[in-house]
A and B are shown apart, each in its own frame.
Chain A
Amino acid sequence: MIRGYNDTIVLSLLVQGDSYGYEISRAIDRLSGGNYQIKETTLYSTVNRLEKNGYIASYYGNETFGKRRTYYRITGEGLRYYRGKCEEWELTKRVVDCFTRQTGNERDG
């Protein structure tokens, strides 16, 4: 199920601001409360797909240590796609909730 939403996950981080590979995977780990450690191949194939579809654009940042890092920025198309995916998930969640056992209304914290 997550596989369909890797795009959405990565885009959600870029909505907050531009970022690069490792920072993105760290944020995913943190924001998911340690529940999702995205694999390298998953992350980079996702990023490749997003760039191919025009949802993100890449540029080189100026690193002081000489090695140039690739940063990613979300595009207008990407923002619209992200929003669409969020709505899709809301709908999916509501439908599946009708048919699955509820594990109580606990919220985090």
Chain B
Amino acid sequence: MKGMDREMTKIQNYVENVFSGIPKTKEAVEMKLGIIDSMEEKYAELIAGGKNEHEAFGEVIADFGSIDEIRQELGYDGEERSEPAAGSLHQTGRKLDAEFQKEYEQFKKKFAIAITAGVALCILAVIAMLVLDEIMPESSNIPLVAFLLIILAAVCLFIYFGMQEEKYERQKRQSIADTEIDEALRQQILEEISSSKKNPVADSLCGIIMLAATVLFLLLGFLKGMWHPGWIVFPVGGILCGIVNIIAQMVKKS
């Protein structure tokens, strides 16, 4: 283990070294750490596969690549990057997702407090009215006014926070709908991929089969008059084609 630890840190040392000229922005650090993790995992796999430390280390370093790619990606080379600003709006969209969660959490606490306060105010209103009714002169309107004012405050609270809650609910439902759309799109693409991997050999074989079926059908019909049972060549041909395709797919898998 001691030897292996030395090499592991060697990987870290190497990468840190190569990255030393690069400003430690969040992006740069993320890439650096990702590369270190990936290299260490590869190293561990090579060691487990029987290679000795130095061999494994050498291989892992050989697959490092070029720090210039990193510089280019971060924009330090003055070279153009593919698709720079077009998607940045969307990237903010993704970050907002996580922030939205946090916001929602905080809001939920405030919401609970507000509702409790609203209910408390309602109770307070009744109490205030009863108390004031006792201590105020008969014809005074103060108890009723006090009651209504406090109720008004409670209602304002309920309405305001109710609307906020609605807003969050709507956003949440929207993002769920978006995820479902994304998922549907992904399924569609997966299907497109698997169906686009056509096998031309199978297709030409299919063509030959159907051609033969047609010829057979015509022969049986014209020479033997057997149009009636003769038509069966076509369904049989279709089935044979299906079998050929399935075999082709199985062969592809292997």
A interface list, Cβ under 8 A from B:
4, 7, 12, 15-16, 21-22, 25, 37, 39-45, 47-49, 51-55, 57, 67, 69-70, 74-77, 79-80, 82-83, 105, 107, 109
Contact = CB atoms under 8 A, between A and B. Distances in A.
B193 A25 contact: no
Please name the 6 residue pairs, one residue from A and one from B, whose CB atoms are nearest each other, closest first.
A39-B65, A54-B90, A41-B65, A53-B87, A45-B73, A76-B182
Interface residue SS majority, chain B: helix
Interface range on chain B (Cβ under 8 Å from partner): 35 or more
Interface of B: 27, 30-31, 34-35, 37-39, 41-42, 63-67, 69-70, 72-73, 81-83, 86-91, 93-94, 97, 178, 181-182, 185-186, 189-190, 192-193, 199-201, 251-252, 254
B153 to A, nearest CB: 43
Nearest to A7: B82
13 contacts: A15-B186, A39-B66, A39-B69, A41-B35, A41-B70, A44-B35, A47-B34, A48-B31, A52-B27, A52-B91, A54-B87, A54-B91, A67-B37
B34 A44 contact: yes
A95 B81 CA distance: 25
Nearest to A16: B190
Chain A binding surface SS class: helix
A52 B88 contact: yes
A41 B38 CA distance: 11
A40 B86 contact: no
A79 B189 contact: yes
A104 B190 CA distance: 28
A21 B34 contact: yes
Of listed B31, B66, B86, B87, residue having the most chain A CB within 10 A: B87
A70 B97 CA distance: 17
Given A15-B193, A54-B94, 14 more contacts: A15-B186, A15-B190, A41-B35, A44-B70, A45-B69, A47-B31, A52-B27, A52-B91, A53-B83, A53-B88, A57-B97, A69-B37, A75-B182, A77-B87
Contacts of B34: 21, 44, 47, 70
A13 to B, nearest CB: 12
A4 B82 contact: yes
Contact of A45 (B31, B182, B254): B31
